[in-house]
Amino acid sequence: MNADYKAYFEQHREEHLNELKEWLAIPSISALSEHKGDVAKAADWLAHKLKAAGLEHVEIHSTAGHPIITADYLHAEGKPTVLIYGHYDVQPVDPLHLWETPPFEPDVRNGKLYARGATDDKGQLFLHVKAVEAILKQEQSLPVNVKFCIEGEEEVSSPNLPLYLEQHKDKLAADAILISDTSLLAPGKPAISTGLRGLCSLELTLETANTDLHSGTYGGGVPNALHAMVELLSSLHDKQGRVSVEGFYDGVQELSAEMREEFAKQEFDEEQLKESLALDSLYGEEGFSFVERVGARPTLELNGVYGGFQGEGSKTVIPKEAHAKITCRLVADQDPQAVLDAIEKHLKAHTPAGAKLTYKPKEKAFAFNVDPSHPMLQKAADAFGAVYGTRALFTKDGGSIPIVEKLSSTLNAPAVMMGFGLPDENLHAPNEHFNLENFDLGLLTIVEYLQSI
């Protein structure tokens, strides 16, 4: 059986890759309003491919933001139902000058497909469309009931999907939610994520005057918005990277010996990480390994800081305003709203004299955890084993897919996160890519899984 599919996918490989490239060429950046039309175009493209794959009831639902796509194939009476979730929107691309080939001109080099969205998440989502299509073409039926629910707002924290889920609970009901938007641990080392960090984000502005000022005429006598900003932002962490905001760690669980053991099983190579990213040293809270810091500890990151002159040469200006963008990754029972409140209080208390703070809370999502002993997760680990030759480990992922917690709690079904990416595929960064080895094995693993349950 597996051999048949191997031949089928080999035979259609070029055709599949060309299709995926076509999709990747559409710059569906959900965060930037000028790309609204492109996001819609990417949705249409996907709906068309779902129909072509043989799925039924393919529908594009408009929302207050970007569209949601649903489809299904429900002819396996008495068999479980799997809801496949994914997203067709992508991250912004700057700094553009660091891309080796343009982000929306997909390019295959050394067995890797380079493009924004190649791994996060168009490439991984595409595997499910083609796996289902393959089974339908080979068998004229599916061994389980399959539903798709695909959104275009994951990269902006899914503002509109929760309402849709509430309103269509029955239509979307499933025994498991299948998601490929995470990573293997390393080439040949598959993993199923049983935890995702939550998230909250905010923006802040400091203003010190009603106009930019000349540093000759005023320098040394008036506040400088950038001085105020670096002073304020430097108050957020101690030297070891522990967040200094009072109350930030409320709801974080201490790591048990069992959890530390589970993390240790990954045999993560910190030296290799340092080398591959050209890091002088790792960084973070004392007393935790890298995988523990990323998997079980929260973080507060400055994603952008800017103010004053950024052009060529110099400009003797005292900037009137400075800006910062911040996101936090949350774990366990941290309440994203409580974290935002704690940060707001800290920022207000630490804003230097002479500066006026504007604080804007943005996204928020709880962390998510699932019990790996659930049969739907055990079978997924087996499917990896059958295809990769190595059974998947159950891990905790540092990233956030804010909607997973919502999907799982609303539909009361476990989330099965079968990731086919790799940790160094430059998600959210220049030169994002997808290793085609996992493109090939991913198709087979999904077929194997759907047939095993």
Site for a second copy in 55-84 (CB under 8 A): none
Binding residue (CB under 8 A) for a second copy from 67, 398, 414, 442: 398
- Using the rule CB under 8 A, is 102 a contact of a second copy? no
Which residues ranging from 331 to 370 are in contact with a second copy (CB under 8 A)?
352-356, 362-363
Q: Which stretch binds a second copy (CB under 8 A): 30-38, 164-172, 342-350, 369-377?
A: 30-38
Do residues 419 and 180 touch, judged by C-beta distance below 8 A? yes
Q: How far is the CB of 387 from a second copy (least distance, A)?
A: 24
Q: Within a 10 A sphere around the Cβ of 59, how many other Cβ atoms?
A: 12
In this structure, the chain runs to a length of: 453
Cis peptide before 121 (omega within 30 of 0): yes
Return the residue of 64, 210, 258, 371 that touches a second copy, per CB under 8 A: 210
Q: Residue type for 103, please? A: P
Minimum CB separation from a second copy for residue 338, in Å? 19
Q: Which of 3, 211, 257, 258 binds a second copy (CB under 8 A)?
A: 211
Radius of gyration of the chain (CA): 23
Strands 56-61 and 68-73: antiparallel
Quick one: 57 or 237, whose CB is closer to a second copy? 237
**Of 134 and 318, which CB lies nearer to a second copy in the complex structure?**
318
Name residues contacting a second copy, limited to 241-300 (CB under 8 A). Answer: 241, 277-285, 290, 293-294, 297-299
What distance lies between CA 257 and its chain's CA centroid? 28
Q: Is 183 in the site for a second copy (CB under 8 A)?
A: yes
User: Contact with a second copy (CB under 8 A): which of 145, 158, 160, 224?
Assistant: 224
CB hemisphere CA count around 414 (13 angstroms): 20
Which C-beta is closer to a second copy: that of 128 or that of 433?
433
Q: Is 203 in the site for a second copy (CB under 8 A)?
A: yes
Give CA–CA dist 21/14, Å, rounded. Answer: 10
Nearer to a second copy, 78 or 216 (CB): 216
Least separation in angstroms between CB 309 and a second copy: 4
Burial state string for 251-269 with b = 16 or more CB within 10 A and e = fewer than 16: bbeebeeeeeebbeebebe
Tokens of 125: 């989502």
> What gap in Å lies between CA 67 and CA 22, rounded to an integer?
19
